[in-house]
Structure 1
Amino acid sequence: MICVALTGISRNVIKDLVNNRVRTVEIRSPLNFFSLRGVNPGDRIFVTEASLKDIVNGTPGVIARVNEIQIMTHRMIQSNDFFYEEIESQAARAQLQFLGIGRVRRINTIEPYEPFVIEVDEMPRYIAR
């Protein structure tokens, strides 16, 4: 199956997703942010703790369905007598539902400002290690 990947997600978050079946994550990293912008509620995504540069054929992770996506803008203002600074950043919050275990079969695209798309094989739980 072809799906978008979220990389560098902490082991605790993945473990919590597997155990509780549903987990909301907040994404601030640029690569994962652009990846989430490329999916819609109901789409399947691949979530792994491996960083982008460490993903190769056979990298393990979990397959999840996106139940809900929310894009947020954070705004911070700092000022004193000498300067005024305004910073805006964007983050994405996604509610994920665990579907199964998977492994990377092939990497399809790694383009700046585009979703990270890979091909994943779904693994039966008794085989996944």
Structure 2
Amino acid sequence: MQSITPAQLSQWLEQVRQERPDGPLPLVLDVREPWELQTASVRPDGFELLHIPMRTIPARLAELDPQRPVACLCHHGMRSAQVVHFLNNQGFESVVNIHGGIDRWSQELDPAVPVY
């Protein structure tokens, strides 16, 4: 499984743009629970943001494009790692885990994002 840190996200986004210049924006898939989203969230910048709680991913799989690059995000990176593994097993081609999750995002990219 490929992992990136929040600080490496912009590099990953640039790599995706170079590999797929005519493709859709990469997707950051936030797999946290709704209450977590209300506590802390990220602002899309160069990517589309979609929230699907981890427990609902199998039922909502049709909402995701297996050809689209996806970076999975959770609180610390454990749930998102499980989702990456699941999506890889479902045939998704380009999926990465954002290691450290939104907690590390607050430290590396945006201190305005609350830590919880």
Q: TM-score, normalised by structure 1?
A: 0.24
* Structure (1 or 2) with the larger CA radius of gyration: 1
Q: TM-score, normalised by structure 2?
A: 0.26
